[in-house]
Amino acid sequence: MATPHRVVIIGSGFGGLFAAKHLRRAPVEVTVIARTAHHLFQPLLYQVATGVLSEGEIAPATREILRRQKNARVLLGDVTDIDLAQKTVTSTSPLGTTVTDYDTLIVAAGAGQSYFGNDKFADYAPGMKSIDDALELRGRIFGVFELAELTKDPEMAKKLLTFVVVGAGPTGVEMAGQIAELSRRTLQRDFRNIDPSQARIVLLDAAPAVLGSFGDKLSKAARRRLEKMGVEVAMDLKVVDVDAEGVVVEGKDGTRRRIDSYCKVWAAGVAASPLGKQLAEQSGAELDRAGRVKVQPDLTLPGHPEVFVLGDMATLNDYPGVAQVAMQGAKHAAKMITARLEGKPDGAPFHYRDKGSMATVSRFHAVAAIGPLRLTGFLAWLIWLVIHLVYLIGFKNRVTALLHWAVSFIGRGRSERTATLQQVMGRRAMEKMRADDPNHWAGLGPLEGLPSPQPSRESSSRSA
């Protein structure tokens, strides 16, 4: 019996997961390889960081989502190598390396945080890209309030209650707004020595306006709302240094000043997955400044019609790095693959249909640009609520998210305030271990009870 056409998908984010789902009726065998076992709804990470939602609500298990899709399987693995000549993908796990053969490859490994060449900033200002990041930030945000209550030194309390959010795009605006609500509403009655509402929240950006891509009207509306909530909006300021106790910023005239703060959030800049560089080196494709692969109009890699590159890792027609581009790209790739297998013409160019963009500033207040409409306030917030409910995956997650939103937006509470020391320390401890041993997994030391890592090969799910 002929082996079914093997489609390997790297990544279980918006691009990877939706590509797998769109291939459910195709005569193919789909293997999704991702470094996490969950699909992450990144737009709500800030709510996990600020205690509104639990991590499970925005990160359901990928294999649970795909459990009824018989032609799909999910493999945990950190992809380290793509070999375009051999048509193989190599991934690593605590069990060793796995080589997986493909006939068609979809690469949707997304993007990570960029510190614009200053990676040491990451030690003190975590980004917002993963569940780990959000939980670490949750620990830091709630933690500084605890420490401020504890300290007898008023200067120290001030530093502890100063939050700096770097980057005034949607993520930065949402984080600053949520920290403001947390300090002014949620925590109002919880402390005895400090007044949480005195917390200083500074939103910084080198750009001249918040939410610059939303246009002047929405940008100004968002800024007004943030300032009304007590957020200090400081534009045209470049962060030139970050350390444990603060940030140094530089104005357009070159003057520098320091903002003391123990809790910093980095919401500026993205860098595409380093897998893009591998693809570029092997195919001759170009990369843009953010490391995104310049793909053909049909989303394939130049010279490799069997390789699709989607979502945040790819660049085409200046399409933005948003979930809809990844999801629509996934549908396009699945259509192309199915057409080819049916002997129909393929190679149609991908066109992104812009369904609009939105950002919440506070409870009951958002800004939204939908076609020619520019909405602010409650109506925009209602649209935000409905859209996020629709796109959250799984009925169970929608119900619990709705309940948690009711707790936070109608009441004053936050259902997910728990933070552990492990969340706050884990990332840096793991980085230290990895630095001691560059082998990604071996750096974590022997995992009890597991055999020593071995190489393995996966050519088809049926034969594996």
Binding site for ligand FAD (CB under 6 A): 10-16, 33-36, 42-43, 45, 78-79, 108-110, 128-129, 170-171, 273, 275, 310-313, 321-324, 326
Name 401's Cβ contacts closer than 8 Å, sequence gap at least 6: 44, 53, 57, 58, 388, 389, 392
Rank residues 89 and 148 by Cβ distance to ligand FAD and give the closer one: 89
Rank residues 109 and 221 by Cβ distance to ligand FAD and give the closer one: 109
What strand order describes the sheet that includes 246-250? 238-243, 246-250, 256-260
Q: How far is the CB of 223 from ligand FAD (least distance, A)?
A: 18
72 within 8 A of 162, measured Cβ to Cβ: no
Backbone angles phi, psi at 184, to 5 degrees: -85, -25
Rank residues 8 and 157 by Cβ distance to ligand FAD and give the closer one: 8
Q: How far is the CB of 129 from ligand FAD (least distance, A)?
A: 5
Q: Where are the alpha helices (DSSP H) in 303-349?
A: 323-341
Examine the residue annotation and report whether 29 is marked as an active-site residue of this protein: no
Q: What's the rounded Cα separation, in Å, for the pair 277 and 282?
A: 9
Q: How far is the CB of 2 from ligand FAD (least distance, A)?
A: 29
Q: From the candidates 174, 181, 416, 458, which is the catalytic residue?
A: 174
Q: Report CA-CA distances (Å) from 47 to 10, 36, 253, 332, 384.
A: 27, 20, 36, 31, 14
- By DSSP bridging, strand 304-309 and strand 104-107 are parallel
Q: How far is the CB of 396 from ligand FAD (least distance, A)?
A: 21
Rank residues 137 and 157 by Cβ distance to ligand FAD and give the closer one: 137
- Other Cβ atoms within 10 Å of 36 Cβ, number: 17
Q: How far is the CB of 387 from ligand FAD (least distance, A)?
A: 9
Token pair in block for residue 167: 């980057």
Rank residues 151 and 357 by Cβ distance to ligand FAD and give the closer one: 357
25 within 8 A of 51, measured Cβ to Cβ: no
Rank residues 82 and 199 by Cβ distance to ligand FAD and give the closer one: 82
Q: How far is the CB of 253 from ligand FAD (least distance, A)?
A: 32
Residues 175, 180, 185, 190: is their CA dihedral positive or negative?
Answer: positive
| Cα-only R_g, the chain | 23
- Helix 131-150 / helix 421-436 crossing angle, nearest 10 deg: 120
Active-site residue set? 174
